[in-house]
Amino acid sequence: MTLLELITREAARLKKAGVSFGHGTANAFDEAAWLVLWSLGMDLDSLEDHAKQEMSAEAEAKAGELITRRIESRLPAAYITREAWLQNVPFYVDERVIVPRSFIAELLVDGEGQGTLDAWLSDRTQRVLDLCTGNGSLAVIAALAFPEITVDACDISEDALAVARLNVERHKLGKRITLSQSDLLDSVSGTYDLIVCNPPYVNSRSMAKLPAEYQHEPVLALAGGDDGMDLVRRIVSEAAARLTDIGVLVLEIGNERPHFESAFRRLEVAWLETSAGDNAVLLVTREALVRWARKPEYRA
Ligand SMILES: C[S@@+](CC[C@H](N)C(=O)[O-])C[C@H]1O[C@@H](n2cnc3c(N)ncnc32)[C@H](O)[C@@H]1O
């Protein structure tokens, strides 16, 4: 059996078992390729070069066992391999953080995503805040994409911050990224030109129906209350005070656009296009936040 045949066989097992994707891959073949290559100690991008390589019985068994573990445990692959990739940047992950997959990453990486933040940033953009940093992926990607900036990154979870620390060290960004614990903006001081935030925003009904894979992730990182907007409400009311005059907040809200729009009627936002479409990430300027805050009748 060749490597390609082995991956195809294992992909069929994943499909038959009904595992759920969305933690770095979107289909059974890509997930099987990731796990099979990893189990054999091969580079994850080496499939093309080795597709026709004959596999030993031992290699077949090893790969098969890992796929069995994936099926039986329903652990996202990244928790098994302890590594996830976002915009081609590797991150350490474990169950203390969600597997990074924020669409904001696409917007930070110049030219890679379908959208870009360039139009909203200026030469004066220097201080960036990654609010709800989790494993630190957005902070790291922002620092790599914009070499002149410094990034503060905070999270309420000490566990998440411990993982973020590993990633900041891994990418040698300790001089440009400062991690700290904060309940949203409560312990954040100073102002920022850009705040990026992928907060917990899953509404209660969706939380109750999450596939098993997502149930391995910290509830604290996902659950956003009844309409998913519990934390977003606080962020929207408090962000203006932490933004400079040219500052913008870039906020991910996933599938919750209807809930967002009914919670923040007449707040002027720009919906940014990502691979998830143009409903998942929005941008709001400090000016718009201030205007909105002055008009209590705009609030739901
Ligand atoms: C959806 S995860 C995002 C993690 C990371 N930014 C990413 O995109 O992969 C949300 C993060 O918010 C953190 N969090 C939850 N409640 C918080 C709060 N009140 N203040 C600050 N962070 C909070 C969680 O610990 C979690 O790491």
Q: What confidence score (pLDDT) does residue 112 get?
A: 45
Question: What is the SS3 string spanning the chain?
Answer: CEHHHHHHHHHHHHHHHCCCCCCCCCCHHHHHHHHHHHHCCCCCCCHHHHCCCECCHHHHHHHHHHHHHHHHHCCCHHHHHCEEEECCEEEECCCCCCCCCCCHHHHHCCCCCCCCCHHHCCCCCCEEEEECCCCCHHHHHHHHHCCCCEEEEEECCHHHHHHHHHHHHHCCCCCCEEEEECCCCCCCCCCEEEEEECCCCECHHHHHCCCHHHHCCCHHHHECCCCCCHHHHHHHHHHHHHEEEEEEEEEECCCCHHHHHHHCCCCCCEEEEECCEEEEEEEEEHHHHHHHHCCHHHCC
Report the separation in Å between the CA atom of 97 and the middle of ligand 1, taken as the mean of its atom positions.
Answer: 8
Q: Of the candidates 247, 240, 29, which has an alpha carbon nearest to the alpha carbon of residue 122?
A: 247
Asked if CATH classification 3.40.50.150 holds for the domain at 83-298, the reply, yes or no, is: yes
Give the pTM: 0.95
Q: What confidence score (pLDDT) does residue 116 get?
A: 76
For ligand 1, atom 27, name the residue with the nearest CA: 134
Q: Kindly list the strands in the beta sheet with 127-131, ordered across the sheet, starting from the edge strand earlier in the chain.
A: 177-181, 150-155, 127-131, 192-197, 243-252, 277-285, 270-274
Ligand 1 mutation pick, 92, 156, 168, 274, max ligand atoms within 8 A of CB: 156
Topology annotation, domain 3-79: Helicase, Ruva Protein; domain 3 (1.10.8)
Report the separation in Å between the CA atom of 127 and the middle of ligand 1, taken as the mean of its atom positions.
Answer: 20
Ligand 1 within 6 A of 183 CB? Answer: yes
CB 84 within 8 A of CB 27: no
Where do the structural domains in the chain lie, given as residue ranges?
A: 3-79, 83-298
User: Cα separations (Å) of 112 from 68, 109, 128, 181?
Assistant: 35, 6, 20, 31
For ligand 1, atom 2, name the residue with the nearest CA: 221
pLDDT in tens, the chain (300 residues): 999 999 999 999 999 999 999 999 999 999 999 999 999 999 988 899 999 999 999 999 999 999 999 999 999 999 999 999 999 999 999 999 999 999 999 999 965 444 578 888 888 889 999 999 999 999 999 999 999 999 999 999 999 999 999 999 999 999 999 999 999 999 999 999 999 999 999 999 999 999 999 999 999 999 999 999 999 999 999 999 999 999 999 999 999 999 999 999 889 999 999 999 999 999 999 999 999 998 766 665
Calculate Rg over the CA atoms of the chain: 20
Query: Matching CATH topology for 3-79 and 83-298?
Result: no
Ligand 1 within 6 A of 32 CB? Answer: no
Report the separation in Å between the CA atom of 156 and the middle of ligand 1, taken as the mean of its atom positions.
Answer: 7
- Using CA atoms, how far apart are residues 95 and 12, in angstroms rounded to an integer? 27
- Using CA atoms, how far apart are residues 101 and 138, in angstroms rounded to an integer? 10
